[in-house]
Structure 1
């Protein structure tokens, strides 16, 4: 009796069963296809086979035979799966319950710590992303000066091995703060003041990087932190550096050149607009923090967070919308892109911020980010404009051609209580 009860309970609280591998061809017809690179096809035909997009064309001008299972999406919209960056999705379940937090390891210079092995594919937070079209995410560790490696996952998997799309694609680092605030609890002035240890903190990072660079050229002794940095120097991994104020960002640019690091990505970049030309010249893309935020300083424009993506895009900087190491807020990603459309950016360009651009920044653009032939069939069908809460109503979603479930614990509760409460007009 007890054994049976335990088995039933485990099924009841488990994850949504991941969809099986694609076995039949799907043909989607009649929808408006938002390719993700700025192109929009009003009457598209899209064919999915073997987990890939084999056809994506204008049905008005191109005659293509329909095959397999036909999905009539007339009046609806097709989008590439949205890609979230700079998140702790799957590493944290309940923020206030320490036992469910696995996003921060002990140590200061720990690039060998792998966030992917802590990823919880059965997280209820992860499954709540899919109904809004967020189908892929970059997960990262927090803490320390060098936090560890980030990985890219797809959000319908049994375990972290199945979820991994690109494991250990980058190393995350936190640039030293150029300004600090006083410790009010010790009676200090709580206002901002220059960090007197700023040069020393940079020197410590420089020393570690120089040692790691020397180690990467050949060493018989095993040093895990130094060994984990090899990909940063040979270009096989990105170095994601969190920095926000102008001085920090200028120093990051100088550090990239000093260390001869091929791929540096600026994360945060609140004052990146002040050095946009330098970022472009040094080929440094930017992953911004969430745009639905308040200005950091009293004298900043009230709408600076909203218009920052356009300021950088207009300057030629490759930009993606991200977070600040957050997790459950990630489901709002399409609406962050919708927010910037009210501050000068077109819908097509705003969509790039959460599809094509992050794919390029993460090194996934050969297989993800746009609805193009040969790429993974990771996409969704929406009733309306996916960047608008009123239109973001998904009817189908596919990850690598697999027809995934859009049910979550939230949708189950909604249906349960919708039946319980009779709404009287």
Structure 2
């Protein structure tokens, strides 16, 4: 019996030793960052800048040449760069720790229509995957459920917290829906023809979605003698307090999704994934609908697409006036979220201006997620969620953070990966 108790105590202590770092304390003294190149996140750049913040809020943004008293601790950052914290949209960070361990996978629920499912309460603030985002400048994320036709409700979090309550920046910001495709392919593993063919169930599937919207709206307008939790959860879509994120690809599908949603009284819409959206830009601009693109490091979905389609679509949409952000959906999406700035860098390398590419993961993301009043750019009055990098943060060769702050709190840039790097770099160091 004693051996069992000692074993349990050993694993308990070991687990605590290897746990996430303690979240940073609230800001206690003002900070002034002087001399860095400041990338404001709105397309503007200030060389030799002065950024000051106190009590978690930015108090000054301007030139270091101005004769103004520096506040609190002064950080000399000549030759370095300052950026607003990067924001990962459409992410499952904190919902899955180890893909092969079912008990740690909480990204989807059983059922087809789950608007009442709240991803926030399943968010694990102490995830080691979450911890590894911060050294690359990814400081905020939209935590999004997966699965079904209506997956559930997302929330926005900052990535240095004790628990989901402390992490929350915006609670229940949007409901997420997976739109059916007008084409389908056979399941090759069952011997079916894998070639694309028209989906005979497409019309029926879209009709069911339309009916669901209608039933929910009818319920909300009625006396509600008996609670219907899924319908009740959709109230924000009809009064405009929540957005509907429609995960959809294909020009026809995007058009149908927008048309049916708006006909149902839902006007606050975001398109996610968005392959084919370049063909319906007029519709998107007319209805002020942004697009959260999948990350570009992948093959085009269609054999008719240009070889560099996934690299150039951000510029194509931006040039047409569509607000664009970057989402994380896909294989190994949680681990790959740390590469968010490099996805923006890829879009920049294929025609998008560097500062415009930066907006895809700062001000544009903040606008799409509805948090642009408090974050997304370096502006007076906004949260002091920012970081200092040795060089260009969109380039993996020079994205080397020296300091990072979330709401003015001086956060740790250590992770289990940086610890391993230090350990083995000492083991294999050369003379």
Under TM normalisation by the shorter chain, which class is it? over 0.9
Q: Is the 8 A contact 1:53 1:371 kept in 2?
A: yes
Question: Distance between the aligned counterparts of 1:54 and 1:215, measured in 2?
Answer: 47
The CA distance in 2 between the partners of 1:210 and 1:277, in whole Å, is: 27
Counterpart for residue 265 of structure 1: 270
Instruction: Judge conservation of contact 1:284–1:317 (CA < 8 Å) in 2.
Output: yes
Q: How does 1:184-263 map to 2 (within 5 A)?
A: 184-218=188-222, 219-263=224-268
Contact 1:234 1:262 in 2 (8 A): no
Which of 421, 424, 431 is equivalent to 1:417?
A: 424
TM-score with structure 1 length normalisation? 0.97
- Partners of 2:38 and 2:396 lie apart in 1 by 18
Alignment size in residue pairs: 423
1:75 aligns with 2:82: no
Q: Counterpart of 1:222 in 2: which secondary structure? A: coil
Greater CA drift, 368-377 or 244-253? 244-253
Q: Deviations over 1:366-416 (max 9, x none)?
A: 001000000000000000000001110000000000000000000011111
**1:98 equivalent in alignment to 2:105:** no
Match of 1:383 in 2: 390
Specify the alignment match of 2:318 in structure 1.
313
Give, in angstroms, the shift of residue 167 of structure 1: 1.1
User: Is 1:29 paired with 2:22?
Assistant: no
Deviation (angstroms), 1:299: 2.4
Q: State the Cα distance separating 1:187 from its structure 2 match.
A: 3.2
Q: CA deviation at 1:8?
A: 2.9
1:104 Cα deviation from its structure 2 partner: 0.8
Looking at structure 2, the residues matched to 107 and 299 of structure 1 have their Cα atoms a distance apart, in angstroms, of: 35
1:136 alignment counterpart: 140
Q: Flag as ranges the 4+ runs of structure 1 deviating above 4 A.
A: none
For residues 143-199 of structure 1, give each alpha carbon's deviation from its aligned partner in whole angstroms, at most 9, with x where no partner exists. 000000001000000001101111110000001121110123443221001110111
Q: TM-score by structure 2 length? A: 0.96
Question: Are 1:36 and 1:369, in contact at CA under 8 Å, matched by a contact in 2?
Answer: yes
Paired position in structure 2 for 1:402: 409
Structure 2: stretches of 5+ with no match in the other structure:
none
Which of the numbers 117, 120, 125 marks the counterpart of 1:116? Answer: 120
2:62 to 57, 60, 63: 57
**What is the RMSD of the two structures over their aligned residues, measured on CA atoms?**
1.3
Mapping of residues 278-317 of structure 1, within 5 Å: 278-317=283-322
Q: 1:418 to 1:195 in 2, by over 3 A?
A: same
Whether 1:89 aligns to 2:96 is: no
Q: CA deviation at 1:418?
A: 1.3
* Residues 21, 402 of structure 1: 8 Å contact kept: yes
Residues 341-376 of structure 1: CA distance to partner in whole angstroms, max 9, x if unpaired?
A: 111111110000000001001110000100000000
The structural deviation recorded for 1:217 is 2.2
Q: Where does residue 155 of structure 1 map in the other structure?
A: 159
| Higher alpha-carbon deviation: 249-258 or 364-373 | 249-258
Contact 1:320 1:357 in 2 (8 A): yes
- 1:341 maps to which residue? 348
- 2:370 is aligned to 363
Contact 1:77/1:381, CA 8 A, preserved across alignment: yes
User: Aligned equivalents of 1:361 and 1:374: distance in 2?
Assistant: 20
Structure 1 CA distance, aligned partners of 2:349 and 2:314? 12
